[in-house]
Chains A and B, each alone.
Chain A
Amino acid sequence: MMIRLENVSKTFVTKMGRVDALKNVSLELKKGEIFGVIGYSGAGKSTLIRCINLLERPTSGRVVWNGVDLSTLSPRQLRETRRKIGMIFQGFHLLKTATVYENMAIPLKLSGVPKEKIRERVEKYLAVVGLEDKRDDYPGQLSGGQKQRVAIARALAHEPEVLLCDEATSALDPETTDAILELLLKINEEFGITMLLITHEMNVIQKVCDRVAVMEKGQIVESGPVLQIFTSPAHETTRRFVNSLFQIALPRSLSRRDDSGRLVTLFVPSSVGETFWTQISRRFDVLPRLLSGGILHLKGQTLGRWVVHFTGEEEEVNKALLFLQDQGVRIEGVMLHAERNRQIS
């Protein structure tokens, strides 16, 4: 465990009044993991990530870094700690008047890294992000994705233990987003850098995170391993985020079939295996019909989510569902109410 937030609260006092941006947030980052925080705009995500390196001082609570309470550090010690905590932003935040090389070299120089080392590190990490040929370009000549690569290289050049990413892909198109996420994964694996990733896009969480926390109105409303959160989201907001990934629009006419048989949603993690499908119809006297669904590729595992209509004797259907449950499939009933339907779609 390298970073722990203990009951961190942050209240902004403005002319318009008080804003409780964070309310008693506790969180732990484990060494080597990629932890995601997702929430809608204004949930307090940026405030949270900025509290970790004390860009924002918590109103109350503690930020503990490798056992040390950051607020007890002297300005100099805090600067030294910050060098171990890299940060990248939605807006890249590069020097416009400096080349790619200078953008990486200047902060190193100002941090007191010896000259010979600066060159070596800049070249090493430019290669990691794949921009060796852009070293003499100015940021104005680069695309958004390339700028973010420079920002990542700049952060890596300090050889940090943690990388904080505040909406690092939010300004990028889907393809560039994927490329940057791949790069972050590679960095996590190759250098073992722990990451805290903030986003409002569930597919970012899906692709790279090990654990996730859902934030709303300054609080963490739910958190856990990604697969668990995706399979059994408990909080309303979490459900909405998870559902945003499944384009399951179930026409109302379909739900009417429910009068005979049962309409359910199945959450099928990859651990369940592929044969369950054929096994049901073989073992039980039921007729499952797949109406809609899809497979999500999480980091290192998959999660299927299927809307299925079972016809058959009530008893047989129940037995089949119990069997599925034993296999590790989570089952959620689909109700006919329009409200419930909207949640599913």
Chain B
Amino acid sequence: MQTFQMVGISLFFSVIIGLPMGVLLVMTRPGRIGSNPFLYQTLNLIINTIRSIPFIILLFFILPFTKWVVGTTIGVKGVIVPLVVYTAPYIARLMEQALFEVDRGVIEAYEAMGIRTRDIIWHVMIREARPSIVLGLTIATIGLIGATAMAGLVGGGGLGDLAYRFGHLRYEAEVMYVTVLLLILLVQGLQVLGNRLADRLKKDS
């Protein structure tokens, strides 16, 4: 189904962009290992700016950018760019929060053992934050599914498109109901899965 395809691909790129941004946000924070107030504030500004634009507006606002990146503004390809632009900063924030919660003492203990910063990021921060990262990604994915529905407007296909064409344009209520039901099941399932995985990773007690 197109919805899964869109969610999957955009989630992939959003994580690729969002996770490093989250790491950067935590590391450059004043008082942290790589403290860099300028970079930190700049990143913050960019993220806040994008996050303040609703997806439906962002979708049209960055049309030229979308065209420049993938050469088209319609179809699955055309919708992935705005989805990533929309989701990556959100993921960056969620990752920042997850990584920020990692005990600074542990990070310091690893510094004191002469471990390289990049190893600390990967083997301490990200490792310890895995449960929160999984929960964050679950939330992000659910948000992404919502945004995907709107992608129907630019011919992205998927559930939103279905509901719009059959439910709204043709007044076939059943299609609408089925779509809504499917969405509910999808989101429920995802959340349960996310929670389970996070619990598995948690290990404390």
Chain A interface (Cβ < 8 Å from any Cβ of B): 53, 55, 78-83, 85-87, 89, 91, 93-98, 106-107, 110-111, 138-141, 151, 154-155, 158, 164
Bound complex: CA of A81 vs CA of B114, how far in Å? 8
B113→A111 contact, CB < 8 A: yes
A111→B115 contact, CB < 8 A: yes
B109→A141 contact, CB < 8 A: no
Contact residues of A: prevailing secondary structure: mixed
B114→A138 contact, CB < 8 A: no
Q: Which of B14-22, B80-88, B119-127 contacts A (4 or more CB under 8 A)?
A: B119-127
Bound complex: CA of A88 vs CA of B119, how far in Å? 20
Closest A-chain residue to B115, C-beta based?
A110
Known contacts: A138-B203, A139-B204, A140-B204. The answer to whether A96 contacts B128 by CB under 8 A is yes
A-B contact count (CB 8 A): 73
Known contacts: A95-B128, A106-B123. The answer to whether A140 contacts B115 by CB under 8 A is no
Partner of B203, one of A111, A140, A155: A140
Chain B interface (Cβ < 8 Å from any Cβ of A): 103, 105-106, 108-116, 119, 123-124, 127-128, 130-131, 201-205
A80: min CB distance to chain B, Å:
6
Known contacts: A91-B105, A93-B105, A97-B130. The answer to whether A107 contacts B113 by CB under 8 A is yes
Partner of A79, one of B115, B128, B204: B115
Q: A89-B109, A96-B202, A110-B123 are in contact. List 16 more A-B contacts (CB 8 A).
A: A55-B108, A78-B114, A79-B114, A79-B115, A91-B105, A93-B103, A93-B105, A95-B128, A96-B204, A98-B127, A107-B115, A110-B119, A111-B115, A139-B204, A140-B203, A154-B113
* In the complex, chain B residues whose CB is within 8 Å of the CB of A140: 203-205
20 contacts between A and B (CB under 8 A): A79-B114, A79-B115, A79-B116, A82-B114, A83-B113, A87-B109, A93-B103, A93-B105, A95-B106, A95-B128, A96-B103, A97-B131, A97-B201, A98-B203, A107-B110, A111-B115, A138-B204, A141-B205, A151-B109, A158-B113
Closest B-chain residue to A99, C-beta based?
B203
* In the complex, chain A residues whose CB is within 8 Å of the CB of B201: 97
A154: min CB distance to chain B, Å:
8
* In the complex, chain A residues whose CB is within 8 Å of the CB of B109: 87, 89, 93, 151
Residue of A87, A93, A139, A155 with highest tally of chain B CB at under 10 A: A93
| Closest 9 A/B residue pairs (Cβ) | A140-B204, A82-B114, A79-B114, A93-B109, A93-B105, A83-B114, A87-B112, A140-B205, A138-B203
B127: min CB distance to chain A, Å:
6
Bound complex: CA of A241 vs CA of B128, how far in Å? 40
B72: min CB distance to chain A, Å:
43
A110→B112 contact, CB < 8 A: no
Bound complex: CA of A85 vs CA of B111, how far in Å? 11
Partner of B113, one of A82, A97, A98: A82
B31: min CB distance to chain A, Å:
10
* In the complex, chain A residues whose CB is within 8 Å of the CB of B202: 96-97
* In the complex, chain B residues whose CB is within 8 Å of the CB of A94: 106
* In the complex, chain A residues whose CB is within 8 Å of the CB of B124: 95
* In the complex, chain B residues whose CB is within 8 Å of the CB of A155: 113
B135: min CB distance to chain A, Å:
14
* In the complex, chain A residues whose CB is within 8 Å of the CB of B119: 110
Partner of A97, one of B112, B128, B205: B128
* In the complex, chain A residues whose CB is within 8 Å of the CB of B113: 82-83, 86-87, 107, 111, 154-155, 158
A96→B108 contact, CB < 8 A: no
